[in-house]
Structure 1
Amino acid sequence: MRIASLFSGAGGFEVGFGSAHNTILLNDIAPSAISVLRTQFPQATLIEDVRNVQQGDINSADALVAGFPCQDVSIVGGQRGLAGTRSALVEHVFRLATAIRPAHILLENVQSIRFVHGGRVLLYLMYAAEKLGYSWAYRTLDSRAFGLPQRRRRFYFMASRDSDPGEVLLSDAGSTLPANSLDPSLPVGFYWTEGRSGHGLTADAIPPLKTGSSIGIPSPPAVLFPNGGVKIPTIETAERFQGFPEGWTEAAPPRLRWGLVGNAVSVPVVRWVSDRMNSPAVWDRKLSSPMPDRPIWPLAAWGDGRGLRLAVKVQEAPSSLELGRISDGNYTWTDLSDRALTGFVNRARESRLRYPEGFLERLEARLR
């Protein structure tokens, strides 16, 4: 396929689709992303402002892909939906789709798009696809089920002009992810920047990588190891946690690399979608039921483009589940500072959150 990529970031879609497809256009306004994209995809046209991308730039595209800005639909963001200036930029995807009518539109965002702001952003996506006469499907997928040691639930939306996107996203009903049962003999990931209102405790993996502060201060999750060490991943390890090769974002300033990686689309998930686009299969309509009312949309759904909308009961992991584990990999780490760890423990002790027995005590032993 010829692919036009909007809000390209670090290029996760492009790496996932691989060399079998031709990226004809890239787009991102962030200087750090521009540096990486120009380095990694020197042959592709790059237009910085999505508002400047016009029909003539992408007329030959078979697919429009976009990991559009999530700040206004994220739980930790403003939750302003399309009233926010950043997430509203997704409207340019459909502006261009209306002009060129590509065979496919593929979008990625945070899974909370299903319910924040009353679910209206997802309602807009469904309506915009139907207005074009495209059938659509969406599904929540967890990156950890694709071999990455990162619990990262993300929303994938596909609209197609002449084919059924359900045959791509829904035909594999999937497997159930194992319970997040913490075991002191295995690493435990957590957000050291939190503690009072959340912690992100994750067994043998990290919670979702974040972008860091608005001024580029990185805040990768920490990991408590069975030997009592408390460490954070290096930027190279964080790249691997998203499926990129080590050093993929080296062209960006060091501090800003974390934001690129935290915002990125997980490469193996896109590769799975690409493989299924090459080999579509019929999906089981027995797994569907009438679409519920808002404000919380289901984890997966399908629409025929003419008004029929169905909830679909599929899992967040494919049947080829390959659970990513920190303990299975050879990763590089640095120590979390005593000051940062002390701050987390103090916040955790003051909070009303429940922590597993012995977890905070092990952190305090590390400080002693």
Structure 2
Amino acid sequence: MRIVSLFSGCGGFEAGFGELHKTVLLNDIASSARDVLRERFSNVPLIEDVRNVQPSDITSADTLVAGFPCQDVSIVGGQRGLAGTRSALVEHVFRLAAATRPSYIILENVQSIRFVHGGRVLLYLMYAAEQLGYSWAYRTLDSRAFGLPQRRRRFYFIASRNSDPGEVLLSDAGIPLPANLLDQSLPVGFYWTEGRSGHGLTADAIPPLKTGSSIGIPSPPAVLFPDGGVKVPTIETAERFQGFPEGWTEAAPPRLRWGLVGNAVSVPVVRWISDQINSPAPWDRKLSSPMPDRPIWPLAAWGDGRGLRLAVNVQEAPSSLDLGRISHGNYSWTDLSDRALSGFVNRARESRLLYPGGFLEHLEARLR
């Protein structure tokens, strides 16, 4: 494929598609992202503002990919949907698709796009694809199922002009992920910045990497190790947790690298999608049922481009499940500060959240 990448970030789509496909245009408005893209894809033209990308810039492409901004559709964001100025930029994907008629449109976003703002953002994606006469499919996939020790459920949407995208996203019905059973003889990831209304406790992995604060202060999840240590990943380990090589974002200013990694598309998931595109296969229509009403759309669905929409019962892990585990890797860490850890413990003790027996006691023992 010849790919135009919009909202490219630090290049997760491009790294995942690799040398089998050719990227012909990149786009990102963040200067830190452009620093990385110029370093990693020096021969590819780069346009700063998606609003300035014109059909004449992309006539040689047959695929549009976009990890479009999620701030207005994430649970921790404003949940303004397409009324928000950032997530509304996805409209430019369909502006360009209407003019150039690519074979594929591939999108990624947070899985909460299925229900925040009444599900209207996802409804827009389905409707916009159908208006162009494209069939479509989407699926929620967890990055941890692809060998990354990070529980990261993300939404992937493929629309196609002349093939069935269900043969890409839905042909492998997958298998269930193991339950998130917390065993403190193994590492336990959690959000040290929270504690009062959430905690993100994750067995032998971290909860999803976030972008950090709006001014670039990093806040990666912490991990309680069986020996009582409480640590946070280095930026190089965070890159690996997204499937990049260590140092992938080193061209960006240090304090902005965390935001790039937290916003990135997980590389092994894109690699799996690339493999599925190269080897499409029929999907089992017996797994489908009529699409339910909003406001919560199903985890996976398919549309024929002419108005027929079906929910599809597939799993968040492919049948080739490769469960990422902190305990199975050699990663670099730094200690979480006493101040940060104490703040989390205090918030957790004041909250009504349930914590597994011994978890907070282990953290308090570390402080002592």
Is TM (by shorter chain) over 0.5?
Answer: yes
Residue 315 of structure 2 is matched in structure 1 by 315
Shift of 1:318: 0.1
Quote the Cα distance in structure 2 between the aligned partners of 1:17 and 1:268: 9
Note the alpha carbon deviations across 1:75-103, whole angstroms, 9 max, x for none: 00000000000000000000000000000
Q: Please state how far the C-alpha of 1:154 moved relative to its aligned partner.
A: 0.1
The 5-angstrom pairing of residues 180-195 of structure 1 reads 180-195=180-195
2:158 paired residue number: 158
- 1:306-346, CA deviations, whole angstroms, 9 ceiling, x for partnerless residues? 00000000000000000000000000000000000000000
* Equivalent residue, structure 1, for 2:96: 96
Query: In structure 2, what residue type is equivalent to 1:256?
Result: L
Where do 1:1-368 residues align within 5 Å? 1-368=1-368
Q: Deviations over 1:152-198 (max 9, x none)?
A: 00000000000000000000000100000000110000000000000
Distance 2:108 2:248 in 1: 21
Alpha-carbon separation, structure 2, partners of 1:38 and 1:18:
16
Structure 2: 5+ residue stretches without partners: none
Partner Cα distance (1:199, 1:259) in 2 = 20
Using the alignment, how far apart are the partners of 1:23 and 1:159 within structure 2?
19
- Separation in structure 1 between the aligned mates of residue 279 and residue 199 of structure 2, nearest angstrom: 40
CA root-mean-square deviation: 0.3
- CA displacement 1:32-75 (0-9 Å, x = unmatched): 00100000000100000000000011011110000000000000
Per the alignment, in what secondary structure is the counterpart of residue 20 of structure 2? coil
Task: Quote how far apart the aligned CAs of 1:124 are.
Answer: 0.1
Q: 1:340 and 1:29 mapped to 2: Cα distance? A: 32
| Residues 104-147 of structure 1 deviation map (CA, whole Å, 9 limit, x = unaligned) | 00000000000000000000000000000000000000000000
The secondary structure found in structure 2 opposite 1:69 is coil
Distance 2:91 2:292 in 1: 25
Q: Secondary structure at the match of 2:236?
A: helix
One-letter code of the match for 1:349?
R
What is the letter of the counterpart of residue 363 of structure 1? L
Q: How far apart, CA to CA, are the structure 2 residues paired with 1:45 and 1:219?
A: 33
Structure 1 unaligned runs (5+)?
none
Specify the code of the residue in structure 1 equivalent to 2:238: A
- Cα distance in 2 for partners of 1:365, 1:213 equals 29
CA–CA separation in structure 2 for the residues paired with 1:97 and 1:61: 10
- Residue identity in the other structure for 2:116: V
Q: Distance in 2 between matches of 1:19 and 1:36?
A: 18
Question: Which residue type is aligned with residue 204 of structure 2?
Answer: D
Distance in 2, matches of 1:90 and 1:306, equals 22
Letter in 2 for 1:338: D
Given residue 38 of structure 2, which amino acid in structure 1 is its aligned partner? R
1:300, distance to aligned residue in structure 2 (A): 0.1
- Structure 2: which amino acid aligns with 1:218? P
Amino acid corresponding to residue 188 of structure 1 in structure 2: V
Letter of the 2:333 counterpart:
W
How far the C-alpha of 1:257 sits from its partner, in A, is: 0.1
Name the CA distance, whole Å, in 2 between partners of 1:55 and 1:132. Answer: 16
Matched to 2:354, the amino acid is R
In 1, Cα distance between equivalents of 2:184 and 2:73: 35
Distance 2:88 2:281 in 1: 33
Q: Give 1:20 deviation, angstroms.
A: 1.3
Superposed displacement of residue 209, structure 1:
0.0
Instruction: State the one-letter code of the partner of 2:110.
Output: V
Q: Which runs of 4+ in 1 moved over 6 A?
A: none
The residue type paired with residue 163 of structure 1 is S
Could you tell me how far apart the structure 1 residues matched to 2:325 and 2:22 are?
33
Find the aligned partners of 1:198 and 1:59 in 2 and give their Cα distance: 46
SS at the partner of 1:19? helix
| SS at structure 1 position matched to 2:89 | helix
TM-score, scaled relative to structure 2: 1.00
